[in-house]
Amino acid sequence: MKRVTQTLILAGLLGLLLTACSLIGGEPEATATPEPTTEVSTPVPPASEPVIGTAPVDTVDVLVLESFPVQVNVIASGNLPDGCTRLEEPTIAQADTTFTISLPTSRPGDAVCTEALEPYDKVIPLDVAGLPAGSYTVSVNGVSASFTLAVANEAPTAEATAPPVSTGSGAISGQVWHDLCAIGGEGGEPAIPSEGCITTPSGGFEANGALETGEPGLEGVQVSLGRGACPATGLAATTTDANGFYSFTGLEAGTYCISIDPLVEPNVSILIPGKWTFPAIDGVAEATVNVVTNQVSPNINFGWDFQFAPNPDELAAANCTDAAIFVADVNVIDDTVLPAGSTFTKTWRLANSGTCTWTTDYALVFVGGDQMSGPNEQPLTQSVPPSTTLDITVELVVPTVNGTYRGDWMLRNADGTRFGIPEPDIVFWVQIAVLDGTDEGAALPGPVGGFLLAMVLPAGAYQWHKRRN
C-alpha cells in the first residue's frame, strides 16, 4: 500500500512538471501586425512662387457718379492678413443684371511676415455703357450690393480716333504716340526697365510697339497723305493735335498712303533722336489704307520711342492724371446740428480715381463759403496710390450765430493745380446747422439786470443800445 501511494505521488509531480514546461516553452499567442499607412500631403508651392488666394471682403459699396453717361465704381473693403499679402487685379463677369467680381491676392511664397491685419479699400470701375434702366447686383468674393439706373445708360461718344464722316465720303484717322520705355539704374547699378520695354537681340531694351493705356500722344507731328499704295505723298498733309490724333476726311473710295518722315521739319525737332516701334522701321513710317465710302478707317497709328527717355518715376508722374471721387461723409453729414462755438472735426473719404499718386505735397484747400476757422490749406498726411482711398480730416469751429453754414473744399496737386470730385471744378463740402447760438439783432442778457441789443451792420460796423428795466 505504501508503494502504491508513492507511485501516485510521483505521477502527480510528473504531471505538474510537464504542465510547467508547456507554459514556459510553448509558442506565444499571435498578435495583430499593424498595416502600413500612407500619409497624403497637400502640395505646397515652391518657396519662390507666390501663393494666390482670395481677398477677404467685409463690405461692398457702389458709387453711381452723377454724370451722363453714368459711371459706376465698386469699392470693396476688408482686411488683408499681413503686410506681405497684396491685392491683384480683379476679374469681372456679367450675366444679365448681375456683376460677379473675383478679387484675388498674392503673397511671396518665401516671405516671413508679422500677422497683423492690413485694411484696404479697392476701387473697381464697372463697364455700364449701354445698360438698360433697372436694378443691378454686384458680388465681390460673395459679398453683394446693388445699384439702380433710372434711365438707359447711353454708350459713350466716339473718341477723336473716329472723326465724323460727311455723307458720301470716307476718312482715315489715327494717333502718333510716345511708346514708353524708360530705363532706371545709374552709377554702375543694373538697368531696370519700366513696363512697356522689351529686350533687344543685343541685350538692350526698347519700347514694345503696343499702344497701351496711359501712353501719351505726340503733338505737332506732320502726317502726309498720298493717293495709291505706299510710297505716295503730295495729296494732303496735317499735324497731330494735343493728344497726338490726326484725321483726313472727305476722301473718295480708293487706296491711300499715310506716311510720316521723321527727318523733315517740324518732325525733326519733335522726334529726333529716336526710332519707330510701330511699324518697326527705319526712316519713313508708312501705312497703305483702303478707304470705303461713308466709313472711317480708324487706328492708323504710329509709335515712336525716344532715345533719351526720362526716369520711369519721372515719366509716370509727367503723364499721369489727377482725379478723385467722393466715397462717404465719415462724420458730420450735411445739416448736422452742432453746439454754437464748439470745435469739431470733419472727415471725408475720397478715392484716387486718377493715375497719379497723391503725395504729401498734395493738400486739402479751402475754396469758398464759410471757412469756420479752418486752414487755407492742409497737406495730406500720407501717399495715396491710384485706386485707393484716404480719410481727410480738418478741424473747424462752429459759428456762434444761428443759421446754416457750408464750406467748400478741393484738392491741390504738387504743381498747385486744384481738382475736385469727380470733375476738376466740382467741390466737396461740409454743411452744418447752429440752433443754440444767438440771432442777429436779438436782445441778449446784459449786466445789472438790463439787456444788450446787438445789431450787426454792413461792413463790420456795430451799434450798441443799452437800456435798464
pLDDT per residue as tens, the chain (469 positions): 444 445 445 555 555 545 544 444 444 444 555 555 544 444 555 555 788 889 999 999 988 775 567 788 899 999 988 888 888 889 999 888 999 999 999 888 777 777 788 898 888 998 888 888 889 999 999 999 998 887 887 644 444 444 444 444 789 999 999 988 876 655 556 666 777 788 888 777 888 889 988 788 999 999 999 999 999 999 999 999 988 999 999 899 999 999 999 999 999 989 999 999 999 888 999 999 999 988 889 999 999 988 875 444 554 555 678 889 888 899 999 899 999 999 999 999 998 888 888 999 999 999 999 999 999 999 999 999 888 889 999 999 999 999 999 999 999 998 899 998 877 788 999 999 998 767 654 444 444 444 444 444 444 444 444 443 4
Phi-psi region of 341 (alpha: psi -120 to 50; beta: other; left: phi over 0): left
∠345-351-352 over CA atoms, to 5°? 125
Bridge partner residues of 192 (DSSP): 184
What is residue 347's predicted lDDT score, i.e. its pLDDT? 95
Residues sharing a CB contact under 8 Å with residue 41, sequence separation 6 or more, in sequence order:
none
Architecture of domain 170-318: Sandwich (2.60)
- CATH 2.60.40.10 given to domain 324-434: yes
**pTM for this predicted structure:** 0.38
Query: Which residue ranges make up each domain of the chain?
Result: 51-149, 170-318, 324-434, 440-469
What is residue 296's predicted lDDT score, i.e. its pLDDT? 87
Asked whether the beta carbons of 103 and 76 are under 8 A apart, the reply is yes
Let me know if the fold of 170-318 is the same as that of 324-434. yes
What is residue 16's predicted lDDT score, i.e. its pLDDT? 52
